[in-house]
Structure 1
Amino acid sequence: MNTIKPSRKFALAMDLPEGKRAGYYAQIVKALAGKAALYDREKELLIFATEEERSEAEPIMEQYAIPWEPMDLLQLPAPVQTYRTFDDFGFISRLDNVYVYADLISVFQLAPDQALGRQAEPQGALAQLDEHLVALCPTGSGAADALCAIETQHRELADGIARAYGCHVHWYDT
């Protein structure tokens, strides 16, 4: 199994007042420059590499009286193939990084399960899971190397399909 996996990122979702967005946003980003290391951003979402860096940005939000919410993300490794429901569960940032919402999406890889005593068919399992995928990161030459993202509510389904094809699912709970 390939060792490429998603990485957890920590975001601040701002609720900027109407009519002040452009100027306010520029002031906030400038104020953050000296206080917290901004990893990435997308519209009103500021993304940080660590939870501590996100915490360092909180006083800036208070200073500018900006309502905000913390949000955890999973950054998927490139290249990423997105599926029809991707926009409901993730986004591509200004820096072309691909993120999914950590509370809604689970990420996994398929692996042969020798304990089942039969030939594993990860490609068949992946084909069966295709309609449930939100994103796919092809990290190698076969289905067992692909990093898959699905809605968290479909975890049991993915486990069952994997077993039916002689595989098991390795979940990345980062």
Structure 2
Amino acid sequence: NDDISETSQAEGVEPSTKTVNKRLMAEIENELTRLDGPKTNMGKKLANTFGGGLYNTYETQEQRDVALAEAKDLNGVNPGVCFVGSLFSFGCAAACWVLVNYITDIFSARPIDLDAVYAVQRLSGLFRTVVIGIFALLSGFCGVNGLGLFLLSVRVGYGVLIGELDPTPVVTKNMMDKYEIDEKGAVNL
């Protein structure tokens, strides 16, 4: 057999851990961990506290499934709070839309002076377009958020009515219990 990737071992015999290949692989692994990992002591403490960062690749599939199930759990969501939040968001969307209409009326009542320098005319037009676009985008953003909150309140309200969901808040452990504050007011992890 000329394939060197396949090796045969006798039963019960472990390969030597002091081979050059194993040592080099361990050095490579340590170097990759050092390069990819946090560089400072505070970074190491934060990595330990928050589980290795936003994109923790050390989680197993079961841990990811549990985290997704917890994220999809709507127990503890109050439909009344969602509904009030949707009303506030719809109010912000309406206010932004009224502001867009007001700004467009002001801009159309005061056209750009045609005697101005060409660059000033173009910059004025650009400024007007950007201002109207930002407030129109903000209006749409608030409207979509309001719609999402309203639909969430309807879904949670339906779940509470049929007994599927419990609107009482879920008690979680306080995050501040992990930290100690010394006499100088500094936070120790």
Q: TM-score range by the shorter chain?
A: under 0.3
Higher relative contact order (CA 8 A, sep 6+): 2
Greater Rg by CA: 2
TM-score, normalised via structure 1 length: 0.23
More strand by share: 1
More helix by share: 2
TM-score, normalised via structure 2 length: 0.22
